[in-house]
Amino acid sequence: MSVQRRRAPNAMFSNTRILQGGFSLIEIAIVLVILGLVLGGVLAPLSTQYENGRRNETTNILDKVLEASYGYAIVNGQFPCPDTSGDGLENRVGVNCVSPTGGLPWVTLGVGQNDAWGQPFGYQVTAVFADSSDGTGCGSATPGVSFELCSNGDITVRDSSGGGLVAQNVPALIWSMGKNWAISTSPDEGENSDGDAVFVSKIYSGLSGSEFDDLIVWVTPAILKTRMVNAGRLP
């Protein structure tokens, strides 16, 4: 009598099938990879849109702060001093500011305290535009105004650290350090947190070693003086 041998089950088949008529493990793995790619492609743009939204929101806030600064100068004949105590109020000793740089005096200006990332704004002012004495000595002083038509600011804005000029003779400047809050070690961002009167304003960069997400606005001398003349505050 002949003995018929049973064929051994296909090992590959038995190991790759989880249920009869179901998907193989290889097929499931392929599906998971595809799902990962799809989700990654969706979430990345959403994250970018969210970040762009915060940058746009911060830009709008900065524009309002800048307008409030112009208005304060017209009404008071000077810019407010920086906030050096963290209470939102300007800090001065006698007629002079405690420091030309510090936090935005948001209470004094009547504006918001923080940017869209919940961080406080920085603020820099030229001393002769914020002191309580009349004029700067370059022409005829106007009572109640701390600067004159011939007065120049001491703040400079460049397109990179040590780069070309973007603005000069700036009386006052307000900035946000962006999402990374000055954690970056890039030279351009470092220029905006070193306490001097030189700043960098450029487009966003996420390149390693060249990160830049700061947002900056400044008082334009010609606009300031035109508005002071039109308001009858300067002759």
Give the tens place of pLDDT for each residue, 6-63: 544 454 444 444 444 566 778 777 877 777 776 666 555 667 777 889 999 999 999 9
Question: Is 121 within the bounds of a domain?
Answer: yes
Q: What is the pLDDT of residue 99?
A: 97
Number of H helices, E strands in the chain: 5, 9
Q: What is the pLDDT of residue 32?
A: 78
Q: What is the pLDDT of residue 51?
A: 86
The rounded distance, in Å, linking the Cα atoms of 103 and 147 is 22
- Single-letter amino acid, residue 56: N
Question: Is 66 within the bounds of a domain?
Answer: yes
Q: What is the pLDDT of residue 218?
A: 98
pTM for the whole structure? 0.79
Question: Is 136 within the bounds of a domain?
Answer: yes
Range of the structural domain that residue 121 is part of: 25-230
Number of domains present in the structure of the chain:
1
Question: Is 5 within the bounds of a domain?
Answer: no
The mean pLDDT value of the chain amounts to 88
Question: Is 223 within the bounds of a domain?
Answer: yes
Residue 129 carries which DSSP code? G
Please, what is the Cα angle at 36 between 30 and 37, to 5 degrees? 90
Question: Is 127 within the bounds of a domain?
Answer: yes
Question: Is 20 within the bounds of a domain?
Answer: no
Residue 105 carries which DSSP code? -
Question: Is 180 within the bounds of a domain?
Answer: yes
H or E segment at 70? Answer: helix 25-76
Q: Is 8 exposed, middle or buried (0-12, 13-18, 19+ CB in 10 A)?
A: exposed
Residue pair 72/106 in contact (Cβ under 8 Å)? The answer is no
Quick: pLDDT tens for 85-138: 999 999 999 999 999 999 999 999 999 999 999 999 999 999 999 999 999 999
| pLDDT class of 222 with cuts at 50, 70, 90 | very high
